Amino acid sequence: MKPRNRFEKAVATSNMKLSPISPKAVEWAVRNTVKHIAFRTSGHKCTCGDCGLKFDYKGKGKYIRCPYCRQKLEVTDTLTRKRKESVYFSTIERADGFHVQRVFLLTAVTRKGKKLDVWQIEVCRLWLNKDGKTAVTSRKRVLGHYMDSFNWFSDIELRNMTNVHWVISGCLVYPHYSTTRELRRNGMSGRLPDCHPTRLAEALLTDSRIETMMKAKDYKAVEYFTTHEMELDRCWQPYKIAKRRRYEPEDYGLWCDTVRLLDRCGHDIRSAKYICQKDLMAEHDRWLEKITRMEERRRLAEQMERAKRHEEDFYREKARFFGIVISDSDIEISVLDSIEAFRAEGEAMKHCVFKCEYYAKPDSIILSAHDLSGTRIETVEFSIKQGKVVQSRGICNSNTEFHDRIIKLVNDNAYRFLEAKSTA
Ligand SMILES: [Zn+2]
């Protein structure tokens, strides 16, 4: 890709000037990013994966130190003789006023009885100028089964930034780094929080709130908010208030969710009483439940309002059936005779007779079947046109032991509905 503007031209020029990675950084990466193992067979015969020498280990510990090369090893019971592992790691340096994150792929091959074989290849570089503008120089990607396939023979040059570049660069950073004056001034020095280093640098240059958190060494907050900018807009004021009270949530995700719930409940999210709670999980669940109830009430009110609009029609069309009560020795079945009765029936039986506006169906008479003490059993829909029951449902739309009996009882009395209809 040809540089399209002055910024990209400067990146392309500086890209030519970087020196190879220092052996110390590679040594660090080998020590810290790849797995070091001792091959163990027959219970105690061990072979160091790093130096290839043999020793005996009968203990039960998961980790041991090689008596020859002193490397800490994970004891692995295996008969395989070869292991290959590839990991990304990165370094950060300063070049011509740019902050540069260089991403390397480190490959380690452990062969039983041989010295650990490692090599690394640079994959891409993420460039950031002092205004927070980013560009990438990279080897050419090849399209294949894996997203992160690169052509190792291509040059590291200016290319279009893709999500793959962002993903692979979210890796461990060599702790001895140097960066630009602006980033040092904004808090990037010493230990880095556990988040994407270039995303962090970008945020430090463009968002003074992240800078404040970084300078206060509040790494947990930095880690969360660099990847959740939207939350930061809502939670910045509450965050400052909580900090002043020396309150630190165990989990920023949960805390931000709670702040959001409080806001929706109409509570003051600048009040320490609400935002500095010890048992965050309990608080979160409490407000969530409140909102769920609020929403349920609001939905119900809306439905009631809709129902009221049908009320006049309902009485005009259905009042003539209201007196009908069908019963036998155990069951009584009566016509629902008001919108409120529909609401109560739907709520008690946990089905949709009210929500689906059965009161407004011109062809349907809805009846409630209950026992002689008034306990609801099933809700019945009778079709005037068909002259028979079309459905009968118990709680949560289940069928009860009385199901067939109820249907038969109503069907046997169908003539009463037809009579009532013709008298109108
Ligand atoms: Zn060794």
pLDDT, tens digit, for every residue of 234-256? 999 999 999 999 999 989 999 99
pLDDT tops 70 at residue 424: no
User: Residue 388: helix, strand or coil by DSSP?
Assistant: strand
Ligand 1 center to 71 CA (angstroms): 6
Q: Distance between CA atoms of 136 and 224, rounded to whole angstroms? A: 25
Ligand 1 center to 204 CA (angstroms): 43
Residue 146 confidence (pLDDT): 75
Rounded to 5 degrees, what angle do the CA atoms 124, 199, 97 make? Answer: 70
Who has greater pLDDT, 377 or 424? 377
Ligand 1 center to 171 CA (angstroms): 27
Ligand 1 center to 65 CA (angstroms): 8
Strands of the sheet containing 82-95, edge to edge, are: 157-159, 134-138, 117-128, 98-111, 82-95, 172-173
Question: How do beta strands 37-41 and 72-77 pair?
Answer: parallel
The residues whose Cβ lies within 5 A of ligand 1, an ion, are 48, 50-51, 66, 68-69
Query: Phi-psi category of 165—alpha, beta or left, where left has phi over 0 and alpha has psi -120 to 50?
Result: alpha
Ligand 1 center to 73 CA (angstroms): 8
pLDDT, tens digit, for every residue of 93-147? 999 999 999 999 999 999 988 999 999 999 999 999 999 999 999 999 988 777 7
Ligand 1 center to 422 CA (angstroms): 100
Ligand 1 center to 86 CA (angstroms): 21
Ligand 1 center to 68 CA (angstroms): 5
Ligand 1 center to 361 CA (angstroms): 82
Who has greater pLDDT, 57 or 105? 105
pLDDT, tens digit, for every residue of 323-342? 899 999 999 999 999 999 99
Ligand 1 center to 60 CA (angstroms): 19
Ligand 1 center to 66 CA (angstroms): 5
Quote the pTM value.
0.74
Q: Distance between CA atoms of 12 and 137, rounded to whole angstroms? A: 8
Ligand 1 center to 32 CA (angstroms): 16
Q: Distance between CA atoms of 66 and 259, rounded to whole angstroms? A: 51
pLDDT tops 90 at residue 165: yes
Q: Write 388-394 long-range contacts (CB < 8 A, 24+).
A: 388/414, 390/364, 393/349, 393/351, 394/349
Strand partners, 95: 98
CB 205 within 8 A of CB 199: no
Give the mean pLDDT of 191-220.
95
Q: Distance between CA atoms of 121 and 105, rounded to whole angstroms? A: 5
**Structure tokens that stand for 206 in this block:** 């463009």
Ligand 1 center to 101 CA (angstroms): 32
Residue 379 confidence (pLDDT): 96
Ligand 1 center to 51 CA (angstroms): 4
Ligand 1 center to 175 CA (angstroms): 25
CB 270 within 8 A of CB 238: yes
